[in-house]
Amino acid sequence: MGMSDPKFSPTLGAPLPAECERKRLITRDREKERDHTTCAFVAKRRLTVRRLSRLVHINIAHSQNRVKIFAQR
């Protein structure tokens, strides 16, 4: 769904919600990656509530200026 779409990667280059779950696993090996900041944050906050799903959209939207992007989905 536009995983490699430049528009969807703002400052941190945070992955799309669908990608986030996949990246979260990869991040364990690459803590230097830019995605680590967002995904680790999302994973820690939301993993307990529910498996990374639509809730991830909300957290990413709050941590970044991606509210408008998710509003379109």
Q: Output the tens digit of pLDDT for each of the chain's 73 residues.
A: 445 545 554 555 555 566 666 666 666 555 555 544 555 555 555 555 455 555 555 555 555 554 555 555 5
Residue 6 in any domain: the answer is: no
Residue 4 in any domain: the answer is: no
Q: Taking the complete model, does pTM exceed 0.75, yes or no?
A: no
Question: How many separate domains does the chain show?
Answer: 1
Q: Do 31 and 19 form a contact (C-beta atoms < 8 A)?
A: no
Q: Do 33 and 10 form a contact (C-beta atoms < 8 A)?
A: no
Residue 58 in any domain: the answer is: yes
The SS3 of residue 62 is helix
Residue 3 in any domain: the answer is: no
The 10 Å CB-count burial string (b at 16+, else e) for 26-65 is ebeeeeebebbbbbbbbbeebeeeeebeebbbebbbeebe
Question: Domain range spanning residue 48?
Answer: 12-72
